[in-house]
Amino acid sequence: MIMSSAAPGSRSFADGEALGILLLVAVALVAVWVGTRTWRRGPVPTGADDAEQAGAVAVRRGNIVRGVLLLIAAAGLIWVFTYPYRGDPPAVEAAPVAQEPVGQSPSATTAPAEAERVIDAAPRVGEYRLHTGAEAAEYQRVVPGKPETGKRWFYDGPGEGPIGALLQISAVEWDAELAGATSPEAISDELRNFFAGARATQVTDFEAGPWGGRLSCGFVATDIGRQIVCAWADSATRGQIGLTDEDSLAKAAEVALQFRSASEKRT
């Protein structure tokens, strides 16, 4: 196993740190949502009059819980801007620079120049459904870690919580600076810094899919267990996803690849 250092001053390190905090916030949201499920439903109605009253109670309690969720998210936002990184960044286990993804060649890290791309969130990716409308807008407003130049989306997942996946994508179409890191070494450095910022462990390379580049996943420790973050990179795109409902790196990598393929169309 090769251990590599990381650069805490880099943007990719900051992106990893922000997504790691965002994942912790999402886990807290899930815990509150699941833990209050019975209470939110309110009393069981015994008649027509009781049904109307019980419905009103359920709505009121649901609004209370949603308010608590937003407060948790807001606290996470404050954390992003006030929490200082202390100490040296952790070494990344099985760093991406030490491996070549299965079926990939070094030239695969360069996207076809002639391809036209459309990058946008897919309405549904497997068991994951995109949050839209007012709910999505509220998450965007208060949940921490929004990328400065990229885009971010929230998905409901197969679990019981309100957020199953947190998807962030940056592209050269939105940020010309990304075009500066095109070599396999530069891309590996960015992924290493990202996972170091997220404090991820057991970082492992996986098949990056038809668009090439590199895709890796690792575990992030939370109060209720290990969650998973995955990231992919090529010469034109940086993508990261936090998954709260997956417990296997291999399965999470499959989900991440599905998100990458569904979110980035090339013609």
Q: Above 80 in pLDDT, residue 44?
A: no
What pTM was computed for the model?
Answer: 0.68
pLDDT of residue 194: 85
The per-residue pLDDT of the chain, averaged, comes to: 74
In a domain, 74, yes or no: no
In a domain, 99, yes or no: yes
In a domain, 17, yes or no: yes
Q: What domain count does the chain have?
A: 1
In a domain, 65, yes or no: no
Interval 204-219: pLDDT, tens = 999 999 889 999 999 9
Interval 138-177: pLDDT, tens = 777 666 656 667 888 989 888 876 778 889 898 888 888 7
Give me the domain span that covers residue 240: 11-30+84-266
In a domain, 190, yes or no: yes
Long-range contacts (CB closer than 8 Å, 24 or more residues apart) made by 214-217: 214/96, 214/101, 214/104, 214/109, 214/184, 214/187, 214/188, 215/101, 215/253, 215/256, 215/257, 215/260, 216/96, 216/191, 217/249, 217/252, 217/253, 217/256
